[in-house]
Structures are given as C-alpha cells and as structure tokens.
Amino acid sequence: MALNPPPSAEVDPNAVISIRGLTKSFGDLDVLRGVDLDVQKAENVVVLGRSGSGKSVLIKIVVGLLVQDAGDVTVFGQHVHQLKRKDLDGMRRRVGFSFQHSALYDSMNVEQNLEFPLRMNTKGLSQGEVHDRIRDALEAVGLAGSLKQMPSELSGGQRKRIGIARTLILRPEIMLYDEPTAGLDPITSGEINDLINQVQENYHTSSIIITHDLTCARHTGDRVAMLLDGRVLRIGSFDDVFDTDDPRIKSFHDYNFTRRDSP
C-alpha cells in the first residue's frame, strides 16, 4: 500500500485536527519547520520521533499552550491561535491531555483526583452523578477498586491509568497522549497500548499519540507520522513508514528493535 500523500495547503474540512505549515523556534533552535498533519474522526495518529524532535511542542500548540511562529492549526474547525480565552477554554474541555508523568495530585486520593476536574469543568452535577462518572472512568481503565488509594500507593502503570481516567471523566472528543509508555516495563506498556485502543473503540475519540516507542506506534496507530528535522517526513501505516532505505528512518527502527534487544 502506498504512503498517503502529504496534506494539501488547504485545511481538510473533514479533519478533527488540521495542521498546516507549522513552525516553532526557541531562540536559534528550529524545532518545527513546516509540519503538515491531519487527524480524522475516531482515528489514532501516532507522531514518532527522537527525544527533542518537537513532538510534545506540537501537541502543546494544538491546545494553545504554546503559540506557533507560523502556520495554522484548526481543531473542530476553529483556528486555535485566533480563539479568545473563553472559546479556547471551551475547546480545551473537549480535548483530553494525558501527561507523560500522569500529573496526579499527591495530596488527593484517586477519587478526589477524578472529582476535582469534574467539579471544575462541569456544573450542576449531583453527588450521585459525580460518583457514577468516577466509577465509569475507573472501570474504563480497569481500576474500579482504587478509589481510596493515594498516588504514592500506585505503580507506574496504575498512575498512567488513573491519569487517563481523570481525562476520560470529562468525556473528551480528542485525546492527546504524551509518551504514554515512557518509563514502563514491556508488559505494562502493552497494557497501556491496549487501553489506548479501548478508549478509541469505546469513546470514539480522535487521538494524537506522541512517542518514540515503536511497539506503541505499531499497536495503537491507524496511521504513523515520522517527524524528522522538524517536518513530517513520512506518513502511512507502520509498515509503510518503515519500508524505506532512508538511513535516518532505518536507524530509528533498528535502534528500537535490534540494538535494544542485543545482549
């Protein structure tokens, strides 16, 4: 199967997220140098790249945490950099952001960690409705019995799951995952990959998954975008992206699947 052609200069009206010509520099460091990318409804798109390649910068621009130097990002058909504060907050409530380190409040138990964003962002819910939403979110990530546990009592994989549950409790239409398997052992990483796919299936989310983990990319991505030198160099299925003689891409693949497993 051939690689998908790069997006055209025009915004795709059917895309949930559409990125065109995105550039971002920090001083003399050019991080993004003209990124084009679309995410369709209920699609998982993995953005692969080495550490420091601008992957996390990309999704921070998508939700307006950073402002690009040039180019355009539309989310739900809205130009993010043009949104006023109230409209930007409204857009963000439809987007779930799963942080690399889960970002749980250490002083709150699991139930309180989930209740806090729900109370902050959803008005008029009864205590019974809040309880049901918390229960549903924890069941979705397989940790229904963890209500009273503190973050310090959870494993790394459990903290990742609770972080995802805290995002799901607001029922987002888009999920942004920042290095979801970072720091996890292979078995727990596989469980998180399965959870990402379950979230897509059960909640019909559109997702960008930022990672340098090729196993995560292969198992979760409907499409994979290879970010190199500040641009999306190749995009398509996992196998198509790595069906190339480009030494930059081959070395990235071999480091993950050959050198990592060497004695």
Same domain, 179 and 63: yes
Same domain, 56 and 185: yes
State the Rg of the chain over Cα: 19
Residue 52: Cβ-neighbour burial (10 angstroms; 0-12, 13-18, 19+): exposed
Q: Which two tokens stand for residue 216?
A: 């995560």
pLDDT at 2: 38
Domain of 133, in residue numbers: 104-171
Same domain, 148 and 191: no
Q: What is the dihedral of CA 48, 52, 54, 59, to 10 degrees?
A: 80
pLDDT at 198: 95
Whether residue 192 is contained in a domain is answered as: yes
Dump pLDDT digits (tens) for 79-94. Answer: 999 999 999 999 999 9
Same domain, 216 and 161: no
Among residues 171, 195, 210, which one ends one of the domains?
Answer: 171
pTM of this prediction exceeds 0.85? yes
Same domain, 89 and 177: yes
Same domain, 25 and 84: yes
Q: How many distinct structural domains can be found in the chain?
A: 2
Same domain, 249 and 177: yes
